Amino acid sequence: MEARILTDQPETPLEVDHQRAVFPEGLSLDCGAVLAPVEIAYRTYGILSAARDNAILICHALTGDQYVAETHPVTGRPGWWERMVGPGKPIDTDRFFVICSNVLGGCMGSTGPSSSNLSRLAFDAREDGDAVHEPWGTEFPPITIRDMVRAQHALVRQLGIERLFAVIGGSMGGMQTLEWAATYPEMVFAAIPIATAPFHSAQNIAFNEVSRQAIFADPDWRGGRYWESGSIPARGLAVARMMAHITYLSEEALTRKFGRRTRRQNASPEASGDLEHPLSFFGEIFEVESYLRHQGSSFVLRFDANSYLTITRAMDWMDIGAEHDGDYAAPFVGTRTRFCVVSFTSDWLFPTSQSRVLVRALNRAAANVSFVEIDSDKGHDAFLLDEPDFDRTIRGFISGAAEHAGLHVGPKL
């Protein structure tokens, strides 16, 4: 597949200078459409070995992006997995070449609903009637987790890498990890699916639908063509984020962090960027309310509503056994990939029971699989938080896999 590697200014509403690969001929999608051209924004950390055998691909979750281990160019916050990726860390950039790309359908430089649809022209009154390409919006074709992986595969091959030492990801990133192992088994030496499942459950589909309906109910949604009015469905998208964020935590974590503590309501919610809260009691609101409102208000500054719809729908259609009459073992029969499946005791979004479904399937497929359930009260997001047992698990598995792969690059783990 022909591609160009660019680092100049891309067409992105966030106006960030992304490192990106461009595939003019595009990708064939599971829905039957050909999406062209396709741009994939990505970041790399560490040095690729002369043998090109030390690459680790990190797959991000629903609202993540490629900025794993550096200051985010939009939020100014540390990278979302900075505590795990870097020199001497569990994913050691002194030893490994780490890649992370923004998923297809995303809004941080990769082709998605906010990208220009080159097949459609409109006339922009703000530019003296000049013809411009409209964003895809809701006309962006439906995609699957496997389509995201196809785009990553194109990027990896363009980087000159024939085989990945490891693919790792949590939540939706874990779904991508499984699709990598199923679709390109010869390219994956080790796979580490974290806090994930081989399918999206009815409960999770239900949560996603409530989030989508919140966006649809926002008057600024405008049928998905909100750019025409220069606005975004901020309230709906914020509520969607608030709803989802609850599922990432646990009752224990919420109680420990907030309990029933209250705080003063902001005198002017709009001035502070907070969502409006007209039902405060004597000017007091619960701290957990304030926290969720902050999560929602900050999220809309970096994420596109149409991307949220596209990606949540891709997650909903994830079922790695769908083409095998529900047999989750079938995609992995004959695989030589080494697996480490990780779950957390308090994760009720992707509970351990679903990880066990995956582990049993891998056992039936005679795959080499390790399974670790981490005792944690931090909920689904535990893999993003300070969790020493998790860190030791990842470090240990990567170290062992590197020995089996015969890697001798950089300092020992």
pLDDT in tens, 107-131: 999 999 999 987 664 444 445 555 5
What are the C-alpha distances in Å from 206 to residues 211, 284, 293, 301? 9, 32, 22, 25
In this predicted structure, what is the pLDDT of residue 96? 98
From 297, 346, 380, 381, the catalytic residue: 380
Query: What strand order describes the sheet that includes 368-374?
Result: 4-6, 19-23, 38-45, 97-101, 55-59, 164-170, 188-194, 338-344, 368-374
Q: Kindly state the average pLDDT of the residues 140-169.
A: 98
Range of the domain at 48: 4-200+321-405
* 188 and 209 fall within a common domain: no
Q: How many angstroms separate the CA atoms of 29 and 113, rounded?
A: 15
In this predicted structure, what is the pLDDT of residue 275? 59
Task: Calculate ∠ Cα 122-110-16, nearest 5°.
Answer: 85
* 126 and 246 fall within a common domain: no
Give bridge partners of residue 91 from the DSSP assignment.
85
**Is 380 in the active site?**
yes
Q: Which of 276, 310, 344 is the last residue of a domain?
A: 310
* 178 and 192 fall within a common domain: yes
In this predicted structure, what is the pLDDT of residue 369? 99
Q: Lowest-confidence range among 40-44, 82-86, 407-411?
A: 407-411
Give bridge partners of residue 167 from the DSSP assignment.
57, 191
Q: How many angstroms separate the CA atoms of 179 and 405, rounded?
A: 21
* 190 and 258 fall within a common domain: no
DSSP, collapsed to helix, strand or coil, labels residue 156 as helix
Q: Kindly state the average pLDDT of the residues 3-7.
A: 37
**Is 65 in the active site?**
no
In this predicted structure, what is the pLDDT of residue 123? 45
316 is a domain residue: no
Query: How many domains does the chain divide into?
Result: 2
pLDDT at 193 over 90: yes
DSSP, collapsed to helix, strand or coil, labels residue 167 as strand
* 156 and 77 fall within a common domain: yes
Its pTM stands at 0.91
From 171, 250, 290, 376, the catalytic residue: 171
Mean pLDDT of all residues in the chain? 91
**Is 171 in the active site?**
yes
pLDDT band at 261 (very low <50, low <70, confident <90, very high): very high
* 228 and 289 fall within a common domain: yes
Q: Which of 310, 337, 369 is the last residue of a domain?
A: 310
pLDDT at 379 over 90: yes
From 347, 355, 376, 381, the catalytic residue: 347
pLDDT band at 132 (very low <50, low <70, confident <90, very high): low
Q: Which of 286, 310, 334 is the last residue of a domain?
A: 310
Comparison of pLDDT for 162 and 276, the residue scoring more: 162
Per residue in 274-321, pLDDT (tens digit) is 555 555 556 789 999 999 999 999 999 999 999 999 999 999 999 999
410 is a domain residue: no
Residue 335: φ, ψ to 5°: -70, 145
* 17 and 128 fall within a common domain: yes
